[in-house]
Chain A
Amino acid sequence: MKVTWSGNGGEWLTGSEVKQIFDASFLDITRKLVRLEISRMEKTGEEQKKAVPDQGYREKIQTKGAVNTTVVCHFSEPLFQYIINTMHGGISPEEAEIPLYINEYMNIICGHAISKINNITKTKSRLSVPEFYGDKDVLEVSGKKEKVQYLAYESPYGEMRVYLFIE
């Protein structure tokens, strides 16, 4: 089995195990934060190679330190609206505040995941401040595409796709 990240006296994790940790975090935190059950959509290997969509609502957050990865999440519009409206007490936040709500959603999910990874591997990684990309904003990713891990979710409000670029 290919080892992706080494620990410092802790356990070793493969890219697949890292993906499982992020998966658990997306499922658990989405349930707690916005009271929504999302479920995994299994995609074929070919579909997993698809690039991040260059349009639509996207978020990018990076982990830095022992583990360097870029996490990009793409939301369908109804799901995006559901998340930010729920976090804003059921109504739409002002335009200027929209990124702050989706940033917090991603910050909590990825912080939860990276904390678990840090504890298992006994390494130290930190999170960047999340970045929101609107409909046609250009989003660039520096991670190696051959190491991308892919997660896709569906819900009654739409879909969400997550790309983990491991450096």
Chain B
Amino acid sequence: MSATTILVVDDSPFASQQIKDIVEGNGYKVVGYAKNGEEGIRLYDELKPDITILDIIMPGIDGLETAEIILKNDPDAKIMMLSSLCDAGTLEEVKSIGLKYLVPKPWEDDVLLATLEMLVKN
């Protein structure tokens, strides 16, 4: 059985490396990194990952807008939002574009992994 593939869209190399370290030790495979939303949309179309992890605060178009564009092109896309902004209003915004998961930065590894597992199952 092949590993679940992940695309990471985050302008922070710190976050990208941390995600790679955690997920690749738990049966996932990071197949691409993007440093902004535009690059993320292009890589999504090119790589068709099983899961996309998207930061919200990024230069250029933010993560929420990026998620909307990816979902418009592929309504079945599985996306997990990641952000230091994790208030009720942000969660409502995430839900309003049809997504379920918002993981706070800095994350707990088990929360990140449990969220990925839920995405895989749904």
Please provide the chain B residues from 64 to 88 with a CB less than 8 Å away from any CB of chain A in the complex: 83-88
B98 lies within 8 A of chain A by Cβ:
no
Contact of A126 among B11, B58, B59, B85 (CB under 8 A): B85
Q: Which residue of B lies closest to A86 (CB)?
A: B14
A residues in contact with B58, CB < 8 Å: 129
Q: Which residue of B lies closest to A93 (CB)?
A: B13
B residues in contact with A88, CB < 8 Å: 13-14
Q: Which residue of B lies closest to A129 (CB)?
A: B59
Interface size class of B (residues with CB under 8 A): 20 to 34
Contact of B13 among A33, A100, A119 (CB under 8 A): A100
A82 lies within 8 A of chain B by Cβ:
no
In the complex, the answer to whether A104 meets B15 with C-beta atoms within 8 Å is: yes
Contact of B84 among A108, A118, A124 (CB under 8 A): A108
In the complex, the answer to whether B57 meets A101 with C-beta atoms within 8 Å is: no
* Complex Cα gap A35–B58 (Å): 25
* Complex Cα gap A110–B83 (Å): 11
- Interface residues of B, dominant DSSP: loop
A73 lies within 8 A of chain B by Cβ:
no
* Complex Cα gap A29–B15 (Å): 14
B105 lies within 8 A of chain A by Cβ:
yes
B25 lies within 8 A of chain A by Cβ:
no
Encode contact with A along B99-118: 1 for CB under 8 Å, 0 otherwise: 00000111000000000000
B residues in contact with A107, CB < 8 Å: 12, 57, 84, 105
A-B contact pairs, 26 of them (CB 8 A): A29-B106, A33-B106, A88-B14, A97-B13, A100-B11, A100-B14, A101-B13, A103-B12, A104-B15, A108-B84, A108-B105, A111-B57, A111-B86, A112-B104, A114-B87, A115-B84, A115-B85, A116-B87, A118-B85, A118-B87, A118-B89, A118-B90, A126-B57, A126-B85, A127-B85, A129-B57
